[in-house]
C-alpha cells in the first residue's frame, strides 16, 4: 500500500479590515471609536483601500501555486456588515468578490501549509490559525511590499519544487504564533 501525494496549492487568507480596507483610518477620520464604527450601518461600504492592497491582490491572483481568499469576521450585532463587506470587495477588489469566507473563527480555516495575513492576532482566534500567521502592520510586515516579498519567494520556490514550496521560515512563524497566543484581548 502507498500514499498518493497530491500537489495541493497553498492557500492565503487575507483579513479584510486592516490589511485590505483601512478600518482604523476611517474610524479615526469619522471621529468614532472602532466599537461604534463597526456598528454603524453603511460604515464598511465607505472604507478606503489600504495603500498597496489592490496591486498586491492582483499579483497574488496571478500566482499559479497560491490560492487567495478573504477571511473576515462580522460584528455580532450588525446584520448589514456581511452585505457591506461583500459589496466593498466587489467594488474595490472584484477578483475576490466570490472568494470571501465570513467566519467568527479563523482558526478553523487552512492547514499547516497555508497563510493568514491579518493585523490582529487576538481577534477571531487568528492566533490559533494552523498555518503561518503574517502579522500585517508589524515591524516585519509593515506594508504590502514586505508581505509580497514573502509570497514572491514562496511562489518562486513552488515553481522550482512544487512538493515543498517553503521559504524555510514556517517553523519560526509557528513559534511566533504560539508566543502571540498570550496576547490579552482588547475591547475592539
In a domain, 100, yes or no: yes
Q: Could you tell me if residue 40 is inside a domain?
A: no
- Residue 103 and residue 109 in contact, taking contact as beta carbons nearer than 8 Å: yes
- Cα gap 129→56, rounded to integer Å: 22
Q: Is residue 170 part of a domain?
A: yes
Mean pLDDT score of the chain, rounded to an integer?
Answer: 86
Q: Does residue 53 lie within any of the structural domains? A: yes
- The total of structural domains in the chain comes to 1
Percent of the chain exceeding pLDDT 90 equals 68
Q: How far is CA 167 from the centre of its chain?
A: 19
Q: Are 15 and 117 in contact (CB under 8 A)?
A: yes
Q: Considering the domain boundaries, does residue 68 fall inside one?
A: yes
Query: How many angstroms separate the CA atoms of 116 and 134, rounded?
Result: 6
Range of the domain at 125: 10-20+49-72+95-180
The whole-angstrom separation of Cα 96 and Cα 61 is 9
Q: Which pLDDT value is given to residue 162?
A: 53
Q: In CATH, what number is assigned to the domain containing residue 141?
A: 3.40.50
pLDDT tens digits along 121-173 = 888 888 899 999 999 999 999 999 999 999 999 988 877 755 555 555 555 55
Residue with the bigger pLDDT between 91 and 177: it is 91
Q: What is the pLDDT of residues 29-60, one digit of tens each?
A: 999 999 999 999 999 999 999 999 999 999 99
CA–CA separation, 28 and 23 (whole Å): 9
Sign of CA dihedral 50, 101, 33, 185: negative
Please indicate, yes or no, if residue 26 is contained in any of the structural domains.
no
Residue 181, pLDDT above cutoff 80:
no
Q: Is residue 38 part of a domain?
A: no
Give me the mean pLDDT over the 15-25 stretch.
96
Site of grid cell 446584520: 79
| Res 97: pLDDT | 85
Cell triple for residue 110?
487552512
Domain assignment of residue 63, yes or no? yes
Size of the chain in residues: 188
Distance CA 171, CA 149 (A): 18
Amino acid at each position: 500500500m502507498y500514499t498518493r501525494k497530491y500537489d495541493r496549492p497553498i492557500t492565503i487568507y487575507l483579513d479584510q479590515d486592516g490589511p485590505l480596507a483601512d478600518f482604523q483610518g476611517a474610524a479615526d477620520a469619522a471621529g468614532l471609536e472602532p466599537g461604534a464604527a463597526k456598528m454603524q450601518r453603511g460604515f464598511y461600504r465607505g472604507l478606503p483601500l489600504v495603500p498597496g492592497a489592490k496591486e498586491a491582490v492582483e499579483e497574488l491572483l496571478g500566482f499559479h501555486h497560491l490560492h487567495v481568499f478573504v477571511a473576515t469576521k462580522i460584528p455580532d450585532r450588525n446584520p448589514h456588515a456581511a452585505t457591506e463587506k461583500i459589496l466593498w470587495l466587489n467594488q474595490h477588489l472584484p477578483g475576490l468578490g466570490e472568494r470571501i469566507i465570513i467566519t467568527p473563527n479563523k482558526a478553523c480555516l487552512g492547514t499547516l501549509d497555508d497563510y493568514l495575513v491579518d493585523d490582529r492576532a487576538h481577534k477571531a482566534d487568528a492566533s490559533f490559525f494552523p498555518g503561518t500567521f503574517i502579522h500585517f502592520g508589524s515591524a516585519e510586515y509593515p506594508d504590502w511590499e514586505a508581505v509580497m516579498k514573502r509570497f514572491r519567494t514562496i511562489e518562486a520556490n513552488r515553481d522550482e519544487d512544487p512538493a515543498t514550496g517553503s521559504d524555510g521560515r514556517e517553523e519560526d512563524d509557528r513559534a511566533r504564533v504560539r508566543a502571540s497566543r498570550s496576547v490579552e484581548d482588547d475591547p475592539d
